[in-house]
Structure 1
Amino acid sequence: MSGQKVSYEDTGAVIMAAGGGARRNAPGALDVVGGLSHVKRVVLNFQRAGIKDLILVCGEEEDTLKKQLRGFGVTFLRIDPEKGTEMFEAVRLGLSYCRERCSQIFVCPVDVPFFSAGTVERLWKSSAEVAIPSYQNRGGHPVKIRRQAVESILSYRGNDGLRGAIREAHAEVEYIEVEDVGSVSPAGERKSDQRLEAQYRSELSRARVKVQLVNTKPYFGPGMVTLLKQIRSLGSVREASEKTGISYSKAWTMIRTAEEETGAELVGRQQGGKYGGMAEVTKAGMELIRKYEELERCVQKYSDEKFREIFQSGTLMVNTDGGNEL
């Protein structure tokens, strides 16, 4: 992957941890290889590539997944079992949720956890309506879908999943040839999983930086960014807190703390109602998000450069399952 990340400000990723269909015997989101669960590995792969707007479609494991991914800035959607158990229903839910704010959306099942960040960048650069990674003429994941193809894909009512939806939508499809066997390798076979995990372990080694804004106390970080973005989309603090996996009372505590420390109203609210009243992110709130994300990109870029300079230029290479936190 190139040393300079592209900008993914309006790009999201839908990760399917529910809806098995033909893959119902596939490994679960919480299965572990090399010290990392499949779901955490997929999340880290996207985050390493620079994608922050991550949507996880869950089933009955929602509560456990929320605990495992607390602090990762993930939005959680629970699929309605009455709408079916096919994986495409999970795809449909995720695409419907983020189509308004994302011009490009990656889609990936949780049982394909070994794709590389470089593959994500290659797909992102494609101008096609649908971009699919290809390794030795085999299509894989993640699949990138542009906004203009989403409506046609959502209207699909056939039985051939995402592949059938793309075909019936007559979308422009580009297969991107990548040197990434992980993109075409579903997890599940022990020896193969161990080989892939060892192959991609070095890519996970990094300096992971968590940027927090502090005045008299810490008041703004990744969790607050995710919360405000969900409030902007949903118009409700209660619904936003549910989607981000935090309690309603904690959400308001975070908002009030940030407002006290900045001296600005970040969330406009109208009290009352069954769902806790309406809420909207103010101009000051949106400006704070913009400045925070600009700072975060600058800090991460500097951190990546210094990590390569310090750790990858000599014989010592710190190699851990979850990355190096400096």
Structure 2
Amino acid sequence: MKINRIGGIIAAASKKDAEPLLHIGTIPIIKRIVISFQQAGIFPIVVVTGTEEDEVRYQLSSYGVIFIPNEDCDQPELFDSVKIGLQYLLGKCERIVFTPVNVPMFTPDTLNRLLESKGDIAVPSCGNRGGHPIVLSDEIVPHIISYSGKDGLRGAVSSLADRRTFVPVNDQGIHMTVRDSSQLETHLANHNQALLHPTVQLSLQKESVFFNTRIKLLLYLILDTHSVRQACDRMALSYGKAWDMLNKLEAEAGYPIVERRHGGSRGGNTTLTPKGIQFLKTWLLLEDKVFRFTQNEFTLLFHDSGLFT
């Protein structure tokens, strides 16, 4: 079921190559990428974990991302993580943004340009060289997943060259990896300026908040997994806390959001009620409208007036 337009994947599994907790500036590179994704309105964001998994989950537990482990993370194959993320998001989004964690310095503007482009595969290009992130349509994803030839993701994308679009961007960060440590530090000030954006945290409250970003992700994952326990594992949330949040939401909303099915041959499950699904979809639509309005007005009022460049 497609719940949102654009999902994202960050491959951070390889114990040999990935360095998700490497600090550039004051934050780890994986947080830097999540912030860039969120600034472009991407939801859900899937982090394929492996190396330093516990610390990655701890660092991002409040950022509203989904954690999916790559059990073979001792193997350095990036394409394995790509497929894990794509298999999870297949059928859930119209388009999917992918980047390896070790390419953290692309800008949100580059993301927006890619998402505005047409075609099944959008690749950013700077100085006649392609880079990351790339954007895939849901239609092309099965072809990427089924590819078994040489050169991993690069080979899969090259095999579909007739469905690939190169998008010119003025962003050297699409090429910079953690191996370019001196370049990353030199580029840091520019990238931090590019990250400047207004943050609007939508919530619902009466006497206290009863719906926010974390509960939104919890509902999304319950709809996907039909299990509160599995949902909690994927978002680094305690089981007891999850039920406290759900019970409070239902009490304040005044109608059932989740449906609990006990027993049976499969041991029972939990999913969203039809009204719960409607609630989640409507909330995501509201968020998208508020996000677009805020970005447009910020550009008009601050950038176009010269208060920020």
The TM-score, its normalising length taken from structure 2, stands at 0.90
The answer to whether the 8 A contact 1:14-1:108 is kept is: yes
Q: Are residues 1:14 and 2:12 paired?
A: no
CA separation in 2, counterparts of 1:215 and 1:165? 51
User: Which residue in the other structure is 1:138 paired with?
Assistant: 129
Change (3 A) 1:18 1:171: farther
Q: What is the Cα deviation at residue 46 of structure 1? A: 0.8
Q: Are residues 1:309 and 2:301 paired?
A: yes
CA separation in 1, counterparts of 2:221 and 2:145? 22
From 173, 186, 189, the equivalent of 1:195 is 186
User: What amino acid does structure 1 have at the position aligned with 2:233?
Assistant: E
User: What amino acid does structure 1 have at the position aligned with 2:78?
Assistant: M
The answer to whether the 8 A contact 1:216-1:261 is kept is: no
Change (3 A) 1:293 1:41: same
CA separation in 2, counterparts of 1:251 and 1:223? 9
Secondary structure at 1:174's aligned position in 2?
Answer: strand
Q: What is the Cα deviation at residue 42 of structure 1? A: 0.4
Q: Are residues 1:87 and 2:78 paired?
A: yes
CA separation in 2, counterparts of 1:13 and 1:144? 9
Q: What is the Cα deviation at residue 175 of structure 1? A: 0.9
- Once the two structures are superposed, what CA deviation does each residue of 1:162-184 show, in whole Å capped at 9, x if it has no partner? 01122335661111111111112
The answer to whether the 8 A contact 1:18-1:79 is kept is: yes
* Unaligned runs of at least 5 residues, structure 1: 1-7, 320-326
Percent identity between the two aligned chains: 33
Ranges of 4+ aligned residues in structure 1 off by more than 6 Å: 273-276
Kindly tell me the number of residue pairs found equivalent between the two proteins. 306
- Range that drifts further, 219-228 or 284-293: 284-293
Q: What is the Cα deviation at residue 298 of structure 1? A: 4.5
The answer to whether the 8 A contact 1:134-1:184 is kept is: no
From 95, 101, 112, the equivalent of 1:104 is 95
User: Which residue in the other structure is 2:236 paired with?
Assistant: 245
Secondary structure at 1:269's aligned position in 2?
Answer: strand
Q: Are residues 1:289 and 2:280 paired?
A: yes
From 277, 280, 286, the equivalent of 2:271 is 280
Q: Are residues 1:217 and 2:196 paired?
A: no
CA separation in 1, counterparts of 2:44 and 2:66? 8
User: Which residue in the other structure is 2:111 paired with?
Assistant: 120
The answer to whether the 8 A contact 1:131-1:143 is kept is: yes
Q: What is the Cα deviation at residue 258 of structure 1? A: 0.4
User: What amino acid does structure 2 have at the position aligned with 1:49?
Assistant: A
Change (3 A) 1:307 1:108: same
CA separation in 2, counterparts of 1:275 and 1:47? 36
CA separation in 2, counterparts of 1:274 and 1:240? 21
CA separation in 1, counterparts of 2:306 and 2:281? 37
The answer to whether the 8 A contact 1:207-1:307 is kept is: no
User: Which residue in the other structure is 1:148 paired with?
Assistant: 139
User: What amino acid does structure 2 have at the position aligned with 1:14?
Assistant: I
User: What amino acid does structure 2 have at the position aligned with 1:296?
Assistant: E
**What RMSD in Å do the two structures reach over aligned CA positions?**
2.5
* Unaligned runs of at least 5 residues, structure 2: none
